[in-house]
């Protein structure tokens, strides 16, 4: 999904705010940091991804489904948390973000492309020969 489109969708989620792409990138990067911590991955931040090109950039590291369900509500939640100076605000954004982050962890963690796995930190990878061998990171159980 194009980064400009993601920013537009976040602004729409924020009741049609007009937050610039440059300002929004920091909130979006914080969501990527959360995803990386939760899934033990190395997805590039939007800022890092954008540095590779000055043109409109298509962020392809994470599937669009998770951009819509995790990154957009997560960035909205992080914006409101910062905007309200850390006060507890917008619990619906927080609830949606945390629930969808859990679903992403549950459903996508075994599908993370090899290039984004934090293989030096013991990522979870499942492969089976019949049903006898399960590989977890670099250990075989």
In a domain, 141, yes or no: no
pLDDT per residue, tens digit, the chain (141 aa), is 999 899 999 999 888 888 888 899 999 999 999 999 999 999 999 988 877 655 678 899 999 999 999 999 999 999 888 766 545 656 888 899 999 999 999 999 999 999 999 877 654 555 544 455 455 555 555
Q: How many domains does the chain have?
A: 1
In a domain, 122, yes or no: no
Q: What is the pLDDT of residue 84?
A: 60
In a domain, 101, yes or no: yes
Kindly tell me the burial class for residue 51, based on how many C-beta atoms sit within 10 Å of its own C-beta (0-12, 13-18, 19 or more).
exposed
Q: How far apart are CA 13 and CA 121, in angstroms?
A: 35
In a domain, 138, yes or no: no
Q: What is the pLDDT of residue 8?
A: 93
Could you list the residue range(s) of the whole structural domain that residue 92 is in? 3-110
In a domain, 82, yes or no: yes
Q: What is the pLDDT of residue 128?
A: 47
In a domain, 127, yes or no: no
Q: What is the pLDDT of residue 19?
A: 85
Q: What is the pLDDT of residue 123?
A: 46
In a domain, 135, yes or no: no
In a domain, 52, yes or no: yes
pTM over 0.85: no
Q: What is the pLDDT of residue 50?
A: 75
Distance set, CA 15 to CA 19, 66, 68, 70, 107 (Å): 11, 21, 16, 18, 30
């Amino acid at each position: 999904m194009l980064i400009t489109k993601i920013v537009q969708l976040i602004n729409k989620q924020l009741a049609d705010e007009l937050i610039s792409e440059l300002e929004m990138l920091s909130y979006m990067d914080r969501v990527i940091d959360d995803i990386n911590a939760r899934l033990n991955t190395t997805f590039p931040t939007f800022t890092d991804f954008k540095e590779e090109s000055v043109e409109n950039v298509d962020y392809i590291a994470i599937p669009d489904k998770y951009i819509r369900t995790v990154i957009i509500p997560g960035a909205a939640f992080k914006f409101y948390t910062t905007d309200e100076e850390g006060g507890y605000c917008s619990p619906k954004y927080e609830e949606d973000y945390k629930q969808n982050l859990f679903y992403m962890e549950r459903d996508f963690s075994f599908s993370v492309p090899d290039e984004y796995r934090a293989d030096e930190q013991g990522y979870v990878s499942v492969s089976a020969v019949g049903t006898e061998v399960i590989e977890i990171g670099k250990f075989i159980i």
